[in-house]
Amino acid sequence: MTFSPDHWQSRLDALRATHRVPGATLAVFTEGKIHELASGLLHRGTGVEATTDSVFQLGSIAKLYTATLVMQLAAAGELDLDAPVIEVLPGFSVADPDATKAITTRQLLSHTSGMTCDFTYDSGRGDDCLATYVTAARNVVLDCPPGAAVSYSSVGYNVLGRIVEVLTGRTWDQALKERLLAPLSLTRTMTLPEEALAFRTAMGHLPGDGGDPEPAPAWDMMPRSAGPYGRVLATAADVLRLAKLHLDGGSAPDGTQILGPRAVAEMQRWAVDVPDKWAVSADGWGLGWSLYDWNGIPGYGHDGASIGQYGFLRVVPGADLVVVLLTNGGAARPLYADLFRELLLDLGGVHMPPAFAPPARPPLVDMAPLVGTYRREGVVITVSVRPDGAPHLLYEFIGGMQDFSPPLSMDLTPLSDTVFAASGVGSSFGGDWMPVVFGTLVDGTPCCYIDMRCAPLAAC
């Protein structure tokens, strides 16, 4: 159907208010045109209004920028995706010597390297921050052996960023500007906080004592080294223009071929299934892209989150449709789900799956095979059964992440023998329920997936 700005502005305003999201911007490409909408406030403390030229933190959507840079190098013959990373980065290593020799760039792109996600390390503001970070991560324990499973990895994307630096002779920030931002005229996309001072910039909001979210204690808590996995700032329309590069086979609006069509197709090709199909709404993963199967209609995209800011990008290639939503707090994921369910159906014929929730009559499940302690870097997950027979999960941050949050105690409601809904996690994550998925690695080791991170069984 034809895009109606007035209708969708009304829907954005209403749904944003319903879900108590302070501010949001929406960009839609359909029928050959880009439409931009904005709603609410950038900062509840100052009352500054959100506008279509407002800049938001993109969180993990930044991974698409890094993946595109890497695929440029591969398409130019400067990088073999299937060669061990140590051939490009001779100093690269991880805690497992065998894994050090085995991890490839392709595995880093598809989150199958086994490298963990949440290694927090501030390596400073210098141009050597990525090199220092990658060196510091060498002793971090892997989530699983390379190729054993998909496990979402921000650390892996920092290694990719370092590969970009070594092969281009530029910092990751500089390479991004010169090889992507400038050719695409993305004038409202940046990587450093001081660059954002020239623009209307969204403040993240976190749950407060009242019903509405409150401004976060700091605007930007990420170090410079977080760039390749999570530190790009942009308007919704600029994010859309990056996605449109891929929709158009790697060609810029002026006809310049920024990324070869074969590389574009390879990024969108199914590389691995995703056991947890609900945390980021993904059915599979390509080389950088989350992949979706909407009842036979294929799509791709990515989600992102920083401190109190959340972004959502979806592409429906068969409908020549791109939709980007950027938000700054509140129940952002339910807003995305409600708004995109309407938008993608109306403009792309896509029926999105219903919100994740347990059935009215949960099945009876034998918990004995699942009980135990699961571990990954910075996190311990303890699955048990209460005296009344109810399944329970305790999620604890340890080590360098111990100050992130108090332990989270959650009751589990089964959807099947391996999929459970955890209650009491807060609406900004995923509504009233968080998916907890149990599976096995290729060697048969049991594992637990939360937020697409794989934690192998450590003890029964």
Instruction: Report whether 225 contacts 129 (CB < 8 A).
Output: yes
Per-residue pLDDT at 427:
41
Per-residue pLDDT at 341:
97
Determine the Cα–Cα distance for residues 263 and 242; give it in Å rounded to an integer. 15
The chain-wide mean pLDDT, for the chain, equals 94
Q: Which two tokens stand for residue 141?
A: 């324990």
Q: Give kind and range of the element (H or E) at residue 155.
A: helix 154-168
Q: Give kind and range of the element (H or E) at residue 207.
A: none
Taking residues 29-58, what's their average pLDDT?
98
pLDDT of residue 13 exceeding 80, the answer is yes
Per-residue pLDDT at 460:
62
Q: Which two tokens stand for residue 290?
A: 């989350």
Determine the Cα–Cα distance for residues 457 and 232; give it in Å rounded to an integer. 35
Of the residues 39, 54, 60, 93, which is catalytic? 60
pLDDT of residue 99 exceeding 60, the answer is yes
Per-residue pLDDT at 225:
95
Per-residue pLDDT at 279:
86
Taking residues 369-380, what's their average pLDDT?
94
**pLDDT band with cut points at 50, 70 and 90 for residue 182:** very high
- Long-range CB pairs of 293-296 (<8 Å, 24+ gap) are 294/344, 294/350, 294/351, 294/352, 294/353, 295/351
Q: Which of 433, 63, 102, 113 has the alpha carbon at shortest distance from 276?
A: 433
Q: Which two tokens stand for residue 357?
A: 């929730």
Instruction: Report whether 138 contacts 119 (CB < 8 A).
Output: no
Q: Which of 235, 257, 253, 255 has the alpha carbon at shortest distance from 185?
A: 253
Q: What's the pTM value of the predicted model, to 2 decimals?
A: 0.95
pLDDT per position as a tens digit, 377-422: 889 999 999 999 999 999 998 876 666 678 889 999 999 999 999 9
60 tagged catalytic: yes
Q: How many CA atoms, within 13 angstroms, populate the side-chain half-sphere of residue 166?
A: 19
What percent of the chain has pLDDT above 90? Answer: 87
